[in-house]
Structure 1
């Protein structure tokens, strides 16, 4: 399983790490491309409305929760990937990293 990589606030502010974090669009299972599960809802809500720290999901064993959240934030803030890739990929990663 791909684990979160180190991400700084500068990476989030200026972008550039999303394509290092996200799987390719073809690697993302179809269920995440159809906006049809709880992880897609979680990511879409975060993208459009923001997310307070008390709403962070619990990380799975062996996953650094802070790094996982920063990885997803870096993907959502980056301008490089298309919106569909960004949301589907972030939802897929969230399903792998959180309970």
Structure 2
């Protein structure tokens, strides 16, 4: 993999509080694979749980070369943004989670 969305962006605490520059953090719908727009995956479930601050009982496998702390900050900045619409946000976060982490299982 080598592309703009393969690695998390560095975000500030202010970005996390107010959403950051969403155009640099969240892929446009045209760049999100269709399965993340049309289907519901384990990545969507995690994105939804994070959005609603649900307690997590998961096992997550890190992807080699990814700073997991930076990845979670990147995701949190998107989820705290007031744009775009919710469906785009969840689809984009699900896609990014699948890029930043190897696998996830819910317990």
TM over 0.5: yes
> In the comparison of the two structures, how many residue pairs are matched?
98
- Moved runs in structure 1, 4+ residues, more than 6 A? none
**2: CA distance between counterparts of 1:60 and 1:40?**
18
TM-score by length of 2: 0.80
Match of 2:81 in 1: 78
1:41 aligns with 2:45: yes
For the aligned residue pairs, the C-alpha RMSD in angstroms reads 1.9
Q: CA deviation at 1:18?
A: 2.3
C-alpha distance in structure 2 between counterparts of 1:66 and 1:89, whole Å: 19
Give the structure with the larger strand fraction. Answer: 2
Larger Rg, first or second structure (1 or 2): 2
In structure 2, the gaps of 5 or more residues are 103-107
How far did 1:93 drift? 0.5
Which has the larger helix fraction?
1
Asked if the contact 2:16/2:80 (under 8 Å) is kept, the reply is yes
Shift of 1:36: 1.5
The answer to which of 34-43 and 86-95 deviates more is: 34-43
Structure 2 match to 1:65: 68
- TM-score norm. by structure 1 comes to 0.86
Structure 1's unaligned 5+ residue stretches are none
